[in-house]
A and B are shown apart, each in its own frame.
Chain A
């Protein structure tokens, strides 16, 4: 770490000052002020505090049970997602597995879809009328067709649904590992398992910590999987929060529940930050080399790993295949689970795509999401860098403030923005923001800040600090170091974050419903109008069509950001290497970011 990390030293750098001023304004105007406003309106309805909410909640058996379930799920997911996530990353990027490119594509299916349709997809397969269940019941007479429900089912579905961050970020960090350390260990007689445990996993620590926080958060906020598969016994707290948010007289309960979840998330964050301080491991070699795929030497283990890898592949891909298939069926067939190939038509697509609004909501959403994703990542690049470099109380305070959007449900964030900016407000130069196209963009950027920050910080953390020091010694200025050394190293991660932000904002409803300009309505509102209310037959079919259409958009996004830019980078920046695919992993050829040519690249840049 750099030596100047005290709060006072921060004030001496003009770079820090500029970023600091902008950040302070942004946090004050869009994170603190609106949310303080809405929380005051919620908890002090008549100007005096009422403890009503806590009393009501803590005496409600259902609320306490649901809250307990959410926490249980959060803790369980933090473990299971890491297990599955690390396994699939190793299978696709570390071990030599036959067909790893195909496996990667299967595991990557979670990049492009999620939510209620994903849960429904699993239900088509393992639910009481599902394909696998029907098969199993025939094989094992007396088996309970309702086996796939409750906590177990929710955990399984959510585990497989949320390995996206592992596939993107952990894989990325893995590729940054210096192969020489692995070779050295092997020469010293270390087994495959020892190398994994003592070298590979420790190097992945910063990234694993970050994705663990995300898994925890996903578990806490679980909504659709418990609704579809939880049954009577396993319902979570989020549906209750949403109901209470919508009812003005119960909004204090929603806010209190959200704050409880928020505080838990912050505690998790604090614990993880503490663990993270325990040390990040870097390779000490000055000329590092690229990771090469490892053979699994034990034949039995090799067969077992292959078998599990392909089983997981089937689990990942079956729901997607069925969702695409069902999107051509009529709504009644989807809900009763009776699919016959003869009944598949294009009617659903014709209906959805020939609406009066046509493609416009798609364009609006693409533009809004792209802008928000780029602004969030672009702005936070500087911030994450500073937070990672300066470890003092000022930096920590900023970091925690930037996580505010994780504490409150997005509907409350939106309401906060409305009540704060429906009149000329000096914080934004006396402008009125409600009814403009800007306010939704602000909200979109805001909700993406915590995730962006966490992942960017993790990727800065895995950059070897000696590079920076070397550049500084040779006289490079702060901005120069940032631009020519750090930026190229974190760019793959930044691109992945941008793509994920973009994808997740495309069908946003919770924020857009309150903030969208009436003439520029994004896709989420149209989807809601076509899928909700009395669910009916068309509604459910439309849900599937929109899911498939979104899959196409998000799939293209991932390809553009990953497939193409990665390849281009590989050619442009690493001319000295043979761009052979054997070394760089299947679909993400050039994304081996931090470290892999640490020594070569910055040296060239400084020269």
Chain B
């Protein structure tokens, strides 16, 4: 019978699935891999992150194993990881989440999916970069406006985002986003809109502020899917655009371009990647130990060394790339009311997508 064959095939395949459950993870998890909730799978910690690309996930898993932690990294973009953590809050699968920025974590916290925990290294970080309760800062990232320094001198370059659409020489020479789904784009707009806060305006922003957004979209060259900004700079299509600080050095090299960054007088927005304990984890003690370990000066220092990141942990900064540390030492941070931004970001994104993006 056909159905019987299907059933047998299914049974065989399920067994296979269970088998590969143990393929490269510790054998303890093999048995539970089929059917049983992840919460019960041995003592493997399930770690959600958006910061696993470019070899970071593999590096972390290796280091953690050396330190005696069995971890399984589940990678997802910032928005996906956030939605996943919120959707799973009644029966959490993750034990720890890290890499998401403060905006995402405050969203998750508001949904009640995080558990308060004070890591051992809480004293070594600036509490102002997080909520001082549930999520804790690991890595700083500046969201910058970068320009082709072979084409523009420091004097001729824009001094601020608003120059892009108010001065003719930059019109159509800067790349503008085609969607607000990414954290970087949202932070750029947090930086611009925050300056136009007006409680009587639409969504807390004055008409003038919304006009800036309109002009930003009207005068920019739309980003091209699967073509990096640096590739477009290299081919001369555009000369400037948004970029997170950590990628600049590597992209300059790959695309053979030179890029300098603009530091507006109001400062630049910072994205701060955080770590937090997931509420309802069945391996709380182990998860807390992992957080203590991962945020420690030693591990953060090695991470910074390896991936050119800017650690928040002061003791870790000694090991980080001195150029990176120097850059952040001179950097003026924009003063942004994150509570205000977080409360309104969803509505801003919606308004911008519907009304201003063309």
Which B residues from 21 to 64 make CB contacts under 8 A with A?
Answer: 21, 23-25, 29, 33-39, 41, 44, 46, 50, 52-54, 57-58, 61-62
Q: Which of B38, B79, B227, B256 contacts A435 (CB 8 A)?
A: B38
Given A335-B227, A360-B24, also A435-B354 (CB < 8 A)? no
Contacts of A253 in B (CB 8 A): 350, 354
User: With an 8 A cutoff between CB atoms, is A227 at the interface?
Assistant: yes
**A84 CA to B108 CA in the complex, in Å?**
49
User: Is B53 a contact of A530 with CB atoms below 8 Å?
Assistant: yes
Q: Which of B13, B44, B46, B94 contacts A367 (CB 8 A)?
A: B13
User: Is A375 a contact of B6 with CB atoms below 8 Å?
Assistant: yes
User: Is A520 a contact of B235 with CB atoms below 8 Å?
Assistant: no
Chain A: interface size category = 35 or more
User: With an 8 A cutoff between CB atoms, is B80 at the interface?
Assistant: yes
Identify the closest chain B residue to A479 (Cβ): B1
Contacts of A435 in B (CB 8 A): 37-39, 88, 91, 93
- Beyond A332-B256, A360-B24, 12 extra complex contacts between A and B, CB < 8 Å: A62-B355, A232-B358, A235-B178, A242-B181, A243-B353, A246-B181, A247-B350, A432-B37, A436-B36, A518-B93, A519-B21, A537-B228
Q: Which of A232, A332, A487 contacts B231 (CB 8 A)?
A: A332
User: With an 8 A cutoff between CB atoms, is B234 at the interface?
Assistant: yes
Contacts of A378 in B (CB 8 A): 2-3, 6
Segment of A156-164, A290-298, A304-312, A417-425 in the binding face:
A417-425
User: Is B6 a contact of A374 with CB atoms below 8 Å?
Assistant: yes
Q: Can you list 9 residue pairs at the A/B interface with Cβ under 8 Å? A: A61-B355, A235-B178, A247-B349, A248-B107, A371-B10, A422-B88, A483-B2, A513-B76, A535-B226
User: Is B228 a contact of A364 with CB atoms below 8 Å?
Assistant: no
Given A228-B225, A375-B6, also A518-B23 (CB < 8 A)? no
User: With an 8 A cutoff between CB atoms, is B325 at the interface?
Assistant: no
Which A residues from 509 to 561 make CB contacts under 8 A with B?
Answer: 513-514, 516-521, 525-526, 528-530, 532-540, 543
Identify the closest chain B residue to A64 (Cβ): B354
Contacts of A116 in B (CB 8 A): 225-226
Of all A-B residue pairs in the complex, the 4 with the closest CB atoms, nearest first, are: A249-B346, A335-B231, A60-B354, A227-B225
Contacts of A248 in B (CB 8 A): 83, 86, 107, 346
Which B residues from 60 to 110 make CB contacts under 8 A with A?
Answer: 61-62, 72, 74-77, 79-80, 83-84, 86-88, 90-91, 93-94, 107
A460 to chain B, nearest CB (A): 15
User: With an 8 A cutoff between CB atoms, is A336 at the interface?
Assistant: yes
A481 to chain B, nearest CB (A): 14
User: Is A336 a contact of B179 with CB atoms below 8 Å?
Assistant: no
Which B residues from 127 to 180 make CB contacts under 8 A with A?
Answer: 178-180
User: Is B72 a contact of A519 with CB atoms below 8 Å?
Assistant: yes
User: Is A240 a contact of B224 with CB atoms below 8 Å?
Assistant: no
**A530 CA to B52 CA in the complex, in Å?**
9
A475 to chain B, nearest CB (A): 20
Contacts of A437 in B (CB 8 A): 14, 17-18, 21, 33-35
Contacts of B336 in A (CB 8 A): none
**A509 CA to B159 CA in the complex, in Å?**
40
Segment of B113-121, B247-255, B267-275 in the binding face:
B247-255
User: Is A367 a contact of B228 with CB atoms below 8 Å?
Assistant: no
Contacts of B224 in A (CB 8 A): 228
- Among A244, A368, A519, A520, the one with the most B-chain Cβ atoms within 10 Å of its Cβ is A519
User: With an 8 A cutoff between CB atoms, is B264 at the interface?
Assistant: no
Contacts of A538 in B (CB 8 A): 54
Identify the closest chain B residue to A419 (Cβ): B87
User: Is B76 a contact of A367 with CB atoms below 8 Å?
Assistant: no
User: With an 8 A cutoff between CB atoms, is B329 at the interface?
Assistant: no
**A332 CA to B255 CA in the complex, in Å?**
6
Which B residues from 265 to 295 make CB contacts under 8 A with A?
Answer: none
User: Is A533 a contact of B50 with CB atoms below 8 Å?
Assistant: yes
Segment of A2-10, A92-100, A173-181, A350-358 in the binding face:
A350-358
User: Is B77 a contact of A528 with CB atoms below 8 Å?
Assistant: yes
**A436 CA to B58 CA in the complex, in Å?**
24
Could you tell me how many residues of chain B have their Cβ less than 8 Å away from some Cβ of chain A?
A: 82
B226 to chain A, nearest CB (A): 6
User: Is B37 a contact of A436 with CB atoms below 8 Å?
Assistant: yes
User: Is A367 a contact of B179 with CB atoms below 8 Å?
Assistant: no
**A381 CA to B16 CA in the complex, in Å?**
25
Given A250-B350, A513-B84, A533-B50, also A364-B17 (CB < 8 A)? yes
Contacts of B54 in A (CB 8 A): 536, 538
User: Is B25 a contact of A525 with CB atoms below 8 Å?
Assistant: no
User: With an 8 A cutoff between CB atoms, is A363 at the interface?
Assistant: yes
Identify the closest chain A residue to B7 (Cβ): A378
**A468 CA to B254 CA in the complex, in Å?**
66
User: With an 8 A cutoff between CB atoms, is A415 at the interface?
Assistant: yes
Contacts of B79 in A (CB 8 A): 246-247
Given A56-B354, A248-B346, A487-B2, also A517-B38 (CB < 8 A)? yes
User: Is A537 a contact of B181 with CB atoms below 8 Å?
Assistant: no
**A60 CA to B358 CA in the complex, in Å?**
11
Which A residues from 222 to 265 make CB contacts under 8 A with B?
Answer: 224, 227-228, 231-232, 235, 239-240, 242-244, 246-250, 253
User: Is B75 a contact of A529 with CB atoms below 8 Å?
Assistant: yes
Contacts of A530 in B (CB 8 A): 53
User: Is A356 a contact of B91 with CB atoms below 8 Å?
Assistant: no
User: Is A521 a contact of B74 with CB atoms below 8 Å?
Assistant: yes
A364 to chain B, nearest CB (A): 6
- Chain A 316-339 near chain B by CB (<8 Å), digits 1 or 0: 000000000000001110011100
User: Is A519 a contact of B41 with CB atoms below 8 Å?
Assistant: yes
Contacts of A539 in B (CB 8 A): 53
Q: Which of B50, B87, B254, B255 contacts A415 (CB 8 A)?
A: B87
User: With an 8 A cutoff between CB atoms, is A438 at the interface?
Assistant: yes
User: With an 8 A cutoff between CB atoms, is B20 at the interface?
Assistant: yes
User: With an 8 A cutoff between CB atoms, is A103 at the interface?
Assistant: no
- Among A62, A335, A419, A537, the one with the most B-chain Cβ atoms within 10 Å of its Cβ is A335
**A59 CA to B354 CA in the complex, in Å?**
8
- Among A231, A364, A375, A533, the one with the most B-chain Cβ atoms within 10 Å of its Cβ is A533
User: With an 8 A cutoff between CB atoms, is A120 at the interface?
Assistant: yes
Q: Which of B17, B37, B41 contacts A368 (CB 8 A)?
A: B17
User: With an 8 A cutoff between CB atoms, is A401 at the interface?
Assistant: no
User: With an 8 A cutoff between CB atoms, is A129 at the interface?
Assistant: yes
Contacts of A525 in B (CB 8 A): 74-76
User: Is B90 a contact of A423 with CB atoms below 8 Å?
Assistant: yes
Identify the closest chain B residue to A512 (Cβ): B76
User: With an 8 A cutoff between CB atoms, is A57 at the interface?
Assistant: yes
User: With an 8 A cutoff between CB atoms, is B9 at the interface?
Assistant: yes
User: With an 8 A cutoff between CB atoms, is A476 at the interface?
Assistant: no
User: With an 8 A cutoff between CB atoms, is A133 at the interface?
Assistant: no
Which A residues from 366 to 387 make CB contacts under 8 A with B?
Answer: 367-368, 370-371, 374-375, 378, 381
User: With an 8 A cutoff between CB atoms, is B347 at the interface?
Assistant: yes
User: With an 8 A cutoff between CB atoms, is A109 at the interface?
Assistant: no
**A521 CA to B357 CA in the complex, in Å?**
36
User: Is A518 a contact of B46 with CB atoms below 8 Å?
Assistant: yes
User: Is A243 a contact of B179 with CB atoms below 8 Å?
Assistant: yes
User: With an 8 A cutoff between CB atoms, is A388 at the interface?
Assistant: no
**A243 CA to B186 CA in the complex, in Å?**
12
User: Is A363 a contact of B20 with CB atoms below 8 Å?
Assistant: yes
User: Is A534 a contact of B353 with CB atoms below 8 Å?
Assistant: no
Given A519-B33, A535-B228, also A514-B83 (CB < 8 A)? yes
**A335 CA to B228 CA in the complex, in Å?**
7
User: Is A120 a contact of B226 with CB atoms below 8 Å?
Assistant: yes
